[in-house]
Structure formats: C-alpha cells, structure tokens
Structure 1
Amino acid sequence: MNKKQLKIAVFHNLPSGGAKRSLYTYIQYLTQQGHIVDVFIPETANEEYLPLENVANNVIKYEVKPSFIREKIYQIFSYVPAIIKQVSVNNVMKTEQKIAEDLNNSSYDIVYCEQDQYTMTPVIFKYLKKPSIYYCAQPIRNEQILKKVNNQKTKAGIFNHPLIKPFAQMFIDQIETRDYERDIEFAEYSTNILTNSYFTHENILRQYGKNSRVSYIGVDNQMFTPLNLERDNYVLSVGTCIPPKGYDFLIRSIANIPQKIRPELVIVGNSSDQLWIEYLKTLAKENKVELDILTQISDDDLIRLYNKAKLVVYAPYLEPFGYVPLEAMACGTPVVGVKEGGLRESILHNKTGLLTQRNEKDFANAIIKLLEDQELWNKFSANGVKYIESAWTLEKAGKRLLNNMYKIIEENK
C-alpha cells in the first residue's frame, strides 16, 4: 500500500491530564511526518494544558451554549457534585453534531476522535460518515471498588445535610445510570476502536461487546530524560488528586517503613479535589508520613522531580494504562506499582521496577528493597531508560498509530 500523505481531522473534548498529553504527542509526530492535522473542538475542551495549536496545522473551535440553570446552582451552593456539569451536555452534543456535519462535507481521509469529558464516548460517531477512529482510553467506569473509594471522601455543604443527602444521592445515581447507558449507546456507533492496553481491550469487549486494536502510547524521551541529579529522600506519585488514584494506600504503605529511612511522599496533580487533599493531609499526619501535594507545575519542574526522586510509587485502582511509569522509567527512576490494570503491561517486574499485590506491607517492603539495595536500584534505573528507548518512544507510538490509520483507510475503501 502506498503510504501517502494523510489529511487528518482530530476531534477531542478532553480535560487536562494523561490523555491530552498523549493526544498532543500523537499530533506532534503526525505533523512532523508531513501529514496535515486539523483539530476540531467544542469550546469546552481544555486547550490551556498543552495547547494543540502548538503542534497542529489548525485548531477550529466551536461554540457551546452555556446552561443558565447550572451556572446559578454553582453560584448558590458551596458544594455541587462534579457530575452536575456547568454546561448543558445536550448543548455539547449539538455542537458535536455540527462538527460531524462539517467533517462529512470535508476532504479529510480520516477522523481521529478522543474521548469526551461529558459523555465518555463522544456523540460525534452517531453523525460521522467518514472513516473514523475512536481512541478509547477506557469505557465509563462503574466498578464497585471505585464506588467504595469515592465514598471515603468526606462531603461538605448542603448535599451532606441529613434531610437532603438521600435525595442528592438518588439524583446522582440517576445521572450515573443515564451516563452509563448513553456511553453504551454512543459506543455502538463507533466502528474502529483503538485502545491503550490489553487490559482496556478486555474491558471494551466486556462493556461494549466490540473488538479493539491495542495501540500503545509513547513518552517523549527527549524531554523525560535522566538529568543525573542527586536523589533526595522522597518518593513521587503523579496524577489527579482524587480517591481512585490510591494515594491513601500509598500513605498507609509508607507508614510501614521504619522511621529512620522513611521517605517523604510527594504528589503532583494536574488538578485536585480539595476535600480529598485535606483528608490525605490528616491521614499523613496521623501516620507520621511527610506529605507534599503540588498542583499545576511546569513540565520542567515535573521532570526535575522525577529525576530527584528515589522512586516513583503508583497505586491507582485498575488504572487502564498509566503514563506515569513511562515518564519515570524514561528519567531513570525505578517504579513500585500495584499489580493491577495496565501497569502489568508497562512495568517489567524485577527489571525496571517492582509490582506487588495491593497490600500495604508488601508495597512497603518493595520500597525498602529498592531504597536499601543501590546495586539493584542502579540496574532497574538503567534498564528503564533502555526499555523506553526500545519500545515506548513517541516515534514508535506514532508509527503504531499511523499504521492503524492506513489499515483502517484501506479497509474502508
């Protein structure tokens, strides 16, 4: 097949975070290879974090009408569940229909779609007639464990009032059910699904009854690279500061490390839940664990933190893939992670890091092992850098994506 230059339309309605970083790097690779990449987004998409105008040929933004009622709710009440969105989801979907109609009348070879922060599977597939790809990082998650960990969070404000709480919870449950059913419906319109891990591939089969191709993401190892800095006595974890990321598990695990070698825990998040932050600070104080939580730091600062950390520790619940271990290994920092989800596909146990059961003492012992065995630490550090170079660079990830695009275009002829 002749690998011609492609004209690619990209749709996303993502927040900040790992998925947006992955999208940014994909577009960067595609444009560097000479392909035309234009981005079509509703104005609700996050373009402050890693703005795509820096790497795409064009970014076309579409208006989303605001919701008057939701804006007033946010102004009146001190706490509103995140599930109650400030914009009207119906208005977001109308905007996506307009984007689809414009793309149907365009000359693009393929439309590459990321997930939607409001509906998970974007409604755009319902209206698209061009060959398209849905990069599904995860289906909507309704695992029981997530409900349990989210219930740990102390809620405040009017929705915690004894007379209102049952009705508020019933309302939230109804919205979650509706969102789940809508995700299932919209996914049915998608025809070519790519995903980030075989773990997620299985979840897509389980939830949508649809097949998907695994197209592993990559990390910029020209940016995330060893700086040969002196290591400080802290372990690092990265990700939004919310209950499913497992930071409370990390605190309790570190509390099992003898005080004389116990490292500080540094958490970096692109955004955070303030109520959960306060809970974590209290938990850390009770367990005599030094804790520092940072938000919205620069990439340069993040890279320095990776390079100065003794280890990266990572314990989210059933993480679909996880960018963090790749960034850590690229910087030559060994990883201790829970043996769940996509982490089993990125961390090489006993080669680039250690994987344990979700057991606080086991996790603590893995940290101790690497803190005390410098020879093993050095081995894991060197292996991690080589491992990223061999399989997880942006170029390799970009080639995987591009090959899938050519296959899908050929299949749609």
Structure 2
Amino acid sequence: MTRITFLHPDLGIGGAERLVVDAALALKKNGHDVNFVTTHHDPEHCFSETKDGTIPVTVVGNWIPRHVLGRFYALFAYIRMVYAASYIILCDQRPEVVFCDLVSICIPVLRLRIPYVVFYCHHPDQLLSQPGGYSKQLYRMPLNYLEEITTGMAHKVFVNSIYTGSVFKSTFKRLQIKPEVLYPSINTDFFDKTRIVSVERVLDRKLPDNSIILLSINRYERKKNLSLAIKALAELEKVLTKEVYKRVYLIMAGGYDKRVEENVEHHLELIGLADELHVTDKVIFLRSPSDIDKVSILHHCNIVIYTPPNEHFGIVPLEAMYVGKPVIAHNSGGPMESIVSGETGFLVDLSGEAFAEKIALLITNPNRIEDFGKAGKDRFLMTFSFAAFSMQLNKAIDNLTDKKTK
C-alpha cells in the first residue's frame, strides 16, 4: 500500500475536480491510502466523495487572499499552493507520492522531501490567462517561466488528451519530456448506484409529458460559450414546426460559486440573453446541481449540447455517452477524440445555426437519438471506461514506487 496525497488548489465542482476525485477513488480501490490537501473546500460546493468522508480532505492556507482588488489571481494561487506543499512536506505522515494538477509551482517544494511527484496537465495555465497590456505581460513573464520549469521537475507528467499533449509540446518548448495521455473517465459505480429522481423534483417545476429536453452542463464561465446553447435554442424555431418547437426546453446546469464574480455576472448575462431572444419560458437555469440532480437530468434529457471551443478534453461528453445520450459539440479540442461525428453525436461549427441544424435532425429522427446513444455507450466502455482509467493510473503509480524500492 502506498500513501498518496492529492494536492489541488480548490476542491469545487468542475471537470478538473471530478478527474482528481476519480483518480483518488481509482487508487483507493486498488488498496492505496489516499487523501486530499487543498487550499479551499466548501462542503456546499463540492463532490459527494470529498464531503462524506470517502476521501479525507485537509484544508490549509485558506486564510491567504485569492487576489488583491481583483488582481494578481495567478500570483496568489502560486503562493497558496507553495504554502500547501510546505504543509505536506512538514507533516508527520508524509506521503510517498503526491499527485498535483493545475498549478506546478508546488513541485520543487514537494521534491525536497517527497519521493515521487506526479503532475496532471489539464492545459498550460499561461494559455488560460486573459490577454492584457504591457504591464500584464511583464507580470505574467516570470510566472510563465516558472510554470514551464517547475512542470519539467515532476517525476511523471500526464495530459488529458492528444490535443492537450500537442499544446503542451508547443507551449513548453524547453522541456524534452513526453507526457503520457491519461484520458479522464467517470465514476461509473456512482452513476449506476444513484437513484434517479424525476425532472419535476430536480427543476422544482413540471414540464409537459412529451417535452424534448436539451441539456447543457458547464460552469458559468464566459469561456464555456454557454450563450451558444441559448442561441441554438432560438434558432430551432426556424427549422422545427411550431408544434414540435413548443415541446423543446433547454436546461442550463452548471457550477456556480458566489465567491467568483464571473459566475454571478455570467449567470445574469445568460438570463438577459434568453429574455432578449424571447426564449425565457423555454430555458431553465440550475446553479451547482447536486450529483444526484445532475445524473437525473442526464438520464431524462434527450440531447446534450456541449459548447466550449478548444476544450482541453471535456468530462460532460463522457457522462452523456455513458447514460446513452447523443452529444453535439464544437469541432475542436478534446471532443474530437471522444465524439465520433455521425455515430455518437455531431461535431459542428461554432454557431447557433450549426448546432440548431443537428439538434433538429435528431429531434425529427428519434431513432437516431437511440442509435447514437447506444453507440456512445459502446464507445465509452471500449475507450474511456473507469476500469481502463484505473488500470493505467494504478500501473503508473506502481511502476514509480517499484523503481524507488529497487
């Protein structure tokens, strides 16, 4: 048994958080002793496994500010992670392996006393930073350099897709390492054991029995391009009969943290857009739905719409495929590896018209919805199953600790 600590900046609700929680579960099932160290964990805004004690969580450094007057987020994220890493190396029961992600600045600190450090690169952080003026460039320059150098100090680096691997190579030109692709998966045991509740209970409102439900699941962030789902809904009125369009509803479900100004602002922007396009009565907003609610609406929906462009990988398409739902996504990034266009869903251009065209095609051909759903689940089980994810991750950890033993 190996003692493994997962170091993550903020254990909220998102794709990165879902992945590391699933990774911890996979290693725990293989007999390893796992726990989390994080700088923030809100029991009201987290996955159930970190709330109910399935995986122990220790919060350190939450007193350190996240920013100063809305600026220097990256710098303070670095400071918080260095503090958390210092806690790990100084604690009485130090782990043999630390699995960290998102922020690499902690790696040289961890290497002072931790035998092995694994880094999971969801996407280079410097590419996620919003562009700015000359002062912003000067501020980011040392941070970008440190990100590259410290990433290269990990004993092993994973990336979440071939796409991210190519971005890794083009961004970190100084590094000679070749990261290993570890496709994310989902905790299928949880999906299988979750009690499905009615749509009415999830939404706290009743929909017509013959409703056609479109579902978008993503955090309330502008980069997720959520407005595209609402625009596609409005465009559907042009390509469906009045009778059919009347039955269509869009559920916008996503992570929402009231501490994050963008979440609050973007939620209000989307409400305003729905009003502007005269689809307010057809759009239902869910903020941070529970795990049970999310699994339930996935089961009850007809089609999943995935709008982010150049997504690093994307967990939502996997969740949709596992429950047998077709996915319509933008033809870029990770969805190009998870979705087979024309078989499990569609990859389309980034426009409301393009999304609406394929949504209408599926709505007017319900047999294809069923066929795509079956093909999607088969593809998930063959390529993205939790068993395959667990096997690859456990093998990597076992190989690393065996090397140290020898």
Q: TM-score, normalised by structure 1?
A: 0.79
Change (3 A) 1:276 1:18: same
Match status 1:111 vs 2:78: no
Pick from 257, 269, 274 the counterpart of residue 284 of structure 1: 274
Quick check: 1:251 aligned with 2:251? no
Residues 372, 223 of structure 1: alpha-carbon distance in 2 compared, 3 angstrom cutoff: farther
CA shift digits 1:214-234 (9 cap, x unpaired): 111111234335969877322
Partner of 2:348: 356
| Counterparts of 2:272 and 2:251, CA distance in 1 | 15
Q: Contact between 1:228 and 1:307, CA under 8 Å: does it hold in 2? A: no
> Does the aligned pair in 1 maintain the 2:184–2:389 contact within 8 Å?
yes
Q: In the alignment, does 2:108 pair up with 1:125?
A: yes
Note if contact 2:38-2:57 (Cα within 8 Å) is conserved in structure 1.
no
Question: Is 1:215 equivalent to 2:204 in the alignment?
Answer: no
Q: Conserved in 1, the CA contact under 8 Å of 2:163 and 2:334? A: yes
Q: Is the 8 A contact 2:67 2:73 kept in 1?
A: no
Residues 328 and 358, structure 2, Cα contact 8 Å, conserved in 1: yes
1:8 aligned to which of 4, 7, 19? 4
Distance of 2:52 and 2:134 partners within structure 1:
44
Which of 62, 85, 104 aligns to 1:96? It is 85
Identify the residue that residue 50 of structure 2 maps to in structure 1.
Answer: 52
Shift of 1:177: 4.6
The question of 1:26 aligning with 2:23 is answered yes
**What does residue 77 of structure 1 align with?**
none
Tell me the equivalent position of 2:201: none
Any idea what the Cα deviations from partners look like across 1:6-59, whole Å, max 9, x if unmatched? 3323222234212212222222222222222233x2443556512537466654
Alignment of 1:111-260 (within 5 A): 111-115=98-102, 120-128=103-111, 129-142=114-127, 147=130, 175-177=139-141, 179-208=143-172, 209=175, 210-224=177-191, 232-258=211-237, 260=242
C-alpha separation between the residues in 1 aligned to 2:130 and 2:65?
28
- The TM-score, its normalising length taken from structure 2, stands at 0.80
The sequence identity of aligned pairs, in percent, is 19
CA distance in 1, matches of 2:138, 2:370: 51
Write the distance in 2 (CA, Å) between the matches of 1:232 and 1:192: 48
C-alpha spacing 1:332/1:213, structure 2 compared with 1 (3 Å)? same
Amino acid at match of 1:123: C
Question: In the aligned structure 1, how far is the partner of 2:142 from the partner of 2:231?
Answer: 36
What amino acid sits opposite 1:406 in the alignment? D
Equivalent residues in 2 for 1:247-326 (5 A)? Answer: 247-258=226-237, 260=242, 261-262=244-245, 263-271=248-256, 273-289=263-279, 290-326=282-318
Deviation larger for 6-15 or 332-341: 6-15
Consecutive unaligned residues of structure 1, counting only runs of 5 or more, are 74-79, 149-167
Give the secondary-structure state (helix, strand or coil) at the position aligned to 2:115: coil
In structure 2, how many angstroms separate the alpha carbons of the residues matched to 1:46 and 1:15?
Answer: 8
CA distance in 2, matches of 1:69, 1:49: 22
Q: Deviations over 1:63-111 (max 9, x none)?
A: 45534994xx5xxxxxx46x548967535423423423548x84x4432
Opposite residue 326 of structure 2, the aligned amino acid is: P
Unmatched 5+ stretches in structure 2: 199-208, 258-262
Please report how far the alpha carbon of residue 282 of structure 1 lies from its aligned counterpart in structure 2 after TM superposition.
Answer: 2.1
Partners of 2:286 and 2:127 in 1: how far apart? 28
Q: How does 1:376-387 map to 2 (within 5 A)?
A: 376-387=368-379
Q: How far apart are the structure 2 equivalents of 1:54 and 1:28?
A: 13
Equivalents in 2 of 1:45, 1:135: separation in Å?
20
